[in-house]
Copies of this chain bind each other. A is one copy, B any other.
């Protein structure tokens, strides 16, 4: 049985606090065909962060240069620091036979979907706004004003859930992981990516 497979780019997005990171890690742990992309950033490394592992740390000039070369699949500038996902990195990993998963905020996800229409897009939703509120406050990693801004943003983001191919509600984590896993498993069998050759 010969099989040919084209690799894919998978976008996992959702509002802040929905549990993107947790589901993302689970998927990567359980499916060795998946890998992730390391972003570039112009901010300085924090203690313990390693270049090429956590981020590729680059200068503002390098960032500008990449921007001019249209090297980014998505990019954003937040509080004087810029971040971006390099198209070349995705392409390299996919050429090596890996499916690349991006754990990305909705603004970045929109850019990726526009630039890579063939990507598989999954949007995670909270069971309720109250649940999102509780999760963000219980994380205790951000001050209340930042949390409130995230909650405000979440409304518009959730209203745009229909722009993605798939929606998954993260109420029961196991169920949400199973649904995301099924989506990736199904997408591997799509005839635009999978070509079994019967002899």
Contact = CB atoms under 8 A, between A and B. Distances in A.
Contacts of A76: none
Contacts of A164: 191
Contacts of A199: 128-129
Query: Which range contains the number of A residues in contact with the other chain?
Result: 35 or more
A167 B191 contact: yes
Given A182-B186, A186-B183, A187-B186, A198 B166 contact: no
A190 interface: yes
Give how many copies assemble into the complex.
Answer: 2
A147 interface: no
A173 interface: no
B171 A1 contact: yes
Contacts of A128: 1, 198-199
A198 B158 contact: yes
A126 interface: yes
Contacts of A194: 166-167
Nearest to A189: B166
A143 interface: no
A125 interface: yes
Interface string A171-199: 10000001101110111011100111011
